[in-house]
Chain A
Amino acid sequence: MTSIFNKRNSIIFFVLLSLIFPTVVPNDYFLYLMTTAFIWVIAVSGLNILAGYTGYLSLAHAGFFAIGAYSLGLLTVKAEMNYWIAFVLTLGITSLIGLFVGLIALRTKEHFFAIYTLCVGYIIYLVIDKWEGLTGGVRGLIGIPTPANIGPIAFDSVHSQYYLVLFFMLLSLLIIYRIVHSLTGRTFIAIRNSEQLATTIGVSTMKNKLLAFVLSTFFAGMSGALYASVIRFIGPEIAYTSVMFDLLMYLLVGGIGTISGPAVGAIVIVWVSQQLQFLQEYRMLIFGPLLTLIIIFYPRGIVGAFISLKTRAQAKKRKVPIVNESLTPTKKQIEEG
């Protein structure tokens, strides 16, 4: 059984599925929905590097997402820059702001870090909301262009934007996969498991935490830029704490500290929310308790539950006693995730 559903085959299966997805959906709306889900996947994967692998829960991530969206919006609308130059600049701007915030924020730990970043997120929201001259205040920013053509490929249709976002999502996931499975990724995990121990064995924790923070803001910025060019209208509410909580929910439901978790979580919740559209305003009545229940009973989300199920089945087959049942994932489990 495991031979057909192994990791490589399932990845190929899902990539193929996402490639043919536009040809099987009945209308553009679903395609649009999937495109936004992919955008969230990028942002959540970025958050995952920091919260899942390094163990620092940043609550400023929606702020960096908004910085990405607004940078792209302002550079293209107000500075009338070429789209792709603006896109690259946006990535630079968010990472740079991430570097400065990270330098200060990462000196704090645990609760202080969460509260600090929550406040940073709120400051970003308030600045966007109040600085009317630059950001347009509550009215928001309209008329953001679609991505400019690359050679003969145009990005003005829903289909082409879907593929563009898909490309960026797969690229991000690949990059994150490579990072997590490199020595750097191991270092992040070492910091998460015990920062003191990591310092003891000679890891420069500050440097690595900062790297994780900047990487996570880099992906938030990328996701924000794509969001701005697909939705083409942005308002200050994208920096609000509710967006942050959405991101957190995608991460938790999918599985924190796993590569595929953010993708599973974002796509599942976006589609479930779509099904629950009739209670749009009250969807948190369901998702709020869900978040709490998941953190109590399945702290590693859907993917985590799936992995432990698989490990158990394999152990049964080989008649090996199950050793690891703890909450923190082992090295092997992380590799499989």
Chain B
Amino acid sequence: MDILIQQLFNGLTIGSVYSLVALGLTLVYGILHIPNFAHGALYMMGGYMTFTMMTKFGFHYWLAILIAVVAVGLLGVLMERFVFHPLRNAPPLHDKIAAIGILLFLESFAQLVWGGDYLTMPTPYNQVVSIFGLTFTMQRLLIIVAAIVIMIALNLFLKKTFTGATIIAMSQNREGANLVGINTTKVAMLTFLISGGLAALASSLASPINLVFPGMGHLVILKAFVIIILGGMGSIPGAILGGYILGFSESLGATYISNDYKDIIAFILLVLILTIKPTGLFVKGGHT
């Protein structure tokens, strides 16, 4: 029973990270219809940024995260400006290939600057707390709480602010939004800013319990794609829910099935979903 609860807790932690990554991905897909294969590279860059800020410049964890979020968000804006904006009228194949080009570049760049080693990120929250006889590390609790806070904040931003409303409007109909005077170019950049920021935040939170290395984005991005197909491409609640579903199934699968094959679970899940329903679960009409 203890193992079960412990694993559910781990699932909650992993799921929080997945949800944050998937949120950024689904936002870009829902609004700009770009499946951003380079999102994993943004996740990776976030991890390295925070790591460098903490170890090289001696900044506090939170300040380092803030800098990483802004820096990676701007990186996302650059990507939109120089790559996806010129390609907005090209066939869908082009977006994907361009994104893969960015991914390859950023990975190689990280390897050049930081080397190929596995790095451990320090954290001020290494304490172990015990609640009801179960032991948790502070960092894991922090991930869960931070993720929930961010999701609520993002939701409030989209629902209650004017800028948020323009984003929603554009996701519903780009031409229509343009007609009523929304600067769609600006909204596109803003979307990439948020998306990159979320990716950086997720990796900064998750890195102390994982490791930082150039290929760290690979599996995460693949799983994020599984999540947004699970939750419906472009759907924000879907991404959050999908993230937690995958987090739980992985941590339970690792304990009760096989630790070696835990990474396959997500992909088998996807293959099953698309086998049964080729347009993805809960897909919004017209977005296929």
Contacts and interface: CB of A to CB of B under 8 A. Distances in A.
Interface of A: 51, 55, 57, 104-105, 107-112, 114-116, 118-120, 122-123, 126-127, 130, 241, 245, 248, 252, 281-285, 287-293, 295-296, 299, 327-328
B273 to A, nearest CB: 10
Interface in B262-288: 263-264, 267-268, 270-271, 274-275, 278-280, 288
A51 B109 CA distance: 28
12 contacts: A116-B270, A116-B271, A119-B270, A120-B271, A123-B268, A126-B261, A245-B104, A283-B108, A284-B104, A284-B107, A288-B104, A288-B107
A57 B96 contact: yes
Given A51-B93, A285-B108, 16 more contacts: A57-B97, A105-B274, A107-B274, A111-B96, A112-B274, A114-B96, A115-B225, A116-B274, A119-B267, A120-B271, A130-B260, A281-B111, A281-B116, A284-B108, A288-B101, A289-B105
A110 B288 contact: yes
Contacts of A119: 222, 225-226, 267, 270-271
Contact of B111 (A115, A282, A293): A282
A282 B279 contact: no
Contacts of B87: 295-296
Contacts of A288: 101-108
Contact of A122 (B91, B94, B111, B267): B267
A272 to B, nearest CB: 15
Given A130-B261, A284-B107, A285-B108, A290 B101 contact: yes
Nearest to A246: B104
B271 A289 contact: no
A60 to B, nearest CB: 11
Interface string B94-136: 1011101111111111011000100000000000000000000
B278 A109 contact: yes
A291 B278 contact: no
Given A109-B288, A284-B104, A55 B93 contact: yes
- Leading 6 A-B pairs by shortest Cβ distance: A288-B105, A291-B101, A292-B101, A284-B108, A288-B104, A107-B278
B35 interface: yes
Contact of B104 (A123, A287, A328): A287
A191 to B, nearest CB: 13
